[in-house]
Amino acid sequence: MQKKLYTIISLLRPHQWLKNLLVLFPPFFARKMASAEVLATIVPSLVSFSLAASSVYIVNDIMDRESDQHHPEKRARAIASGDLSITAALIIAIGAGLISLLLAATVSRAFEAYLILYILISFLYTIYFKHIVIMEMFIVSFGFLLRILAGGEAFHVAISSWLFLTVFVVALFLTSGKRLGELVSLGEGASKHRKSLSLYHYAFLEGVQWLCASVAIVTYALYTIENRSGLFYSFPLAIYGFLRYIYVVKSGTGDPTEVLLRDWQLMITGILWVTVVGVNIYR
């Protein structure tokens, strides 16, 4: 029973729910995190997006079960390893998806619309777009933007143009880093895991990383200067975070969430960045 519960929890990939904190970025940067309206909406908005993401992950695992068996780490996933049947996984995915939609409806219709769009695009990515070089990275990055836009609707906050641009470029930076990490770790067997990897070149992905890092640094610098609240003090931490991630990717580990949770330097940098930004915004 305990093993089965662990299998189900691992299927949901709760560690990936960290990405859904992007929903809170609009109220956080708008100095509204302490308002009663925001506090009342945090739980349903985060849980709904997290369950929706888990539903998408499960469908993706079902579709990729054969290719995942060629991956040194993903072969241990519940579906690829055979620990959980496809039928059981589908039931869990449908259940998670329905609960996420019900919770989203309690937030607002606009928020629910963004969630539905996220689910639809994610399914299209799993079925088709993930095999199209470059386009697949843009689709993944668009998923990050949808979280930001949904957060703006949930908490009634206008999205800053600088925040929008920075999040998109950072998302593309992280996605290209993940692909580069896969190329490094999987080597000649990369195409067996993901078809699009056979079309990527190491130098191209490395160039995309440096391009996106440069653009993100500029947009974030302009945002901190425009804000005029001392946010520029967080700028060195942002640069260090970019450089540290690029360095870690070279070792073959590119998944943003796993890198953040496993690399103590990036974890500390992230905590310090949130602290510096929070202190300057809410002082």
**pLDDT tens sequence across 205-240:** 999 999 999 999 998 888 888 776 788 889 999 999
d(CA 281, CA 259): 27
Decide if pLDDT at 244 tops 90: yes
The 10 Å CB-count burial string (b at 16+, else e) for 244-253 is bbbebbeeeb
Q: In the structure encoding, which two tokens stand for residue 27, read together?
A: 């109220």
**pLDDT tens sequence across 93-136:** 899 999 999 999 999 999 999 999 999 999 899 888 888 889 99
Q: What Cα–Cα distance (Å) separates residue 79 from each residue in 13, 62, 189, 215, 229?
A: 13, 7, 20, 39, 49
Decide if pLDDT at 190 tops 60: no
Whole-structure pTM value: 0.88
The answer to whether the beta carbons of residues 259 and 253 sit under 8 Å apart is yes
The answer to whether the beta carbons of residues 205 and 197 sit under 8 Å apart is no
DSSP conformation class of 36: H
194 pLDDT band (50/70/90 cuts)? low
d(CA 173, CA 244): 13
Closest CA to 176 of 197, 193, 162: 197
What value does the mean pLDDT take over residues 239-248? 92
**pLDDT tens sequence across 126-168:** 888 888 889 999 999 999 999 999 999 999 998 888 888 889 9
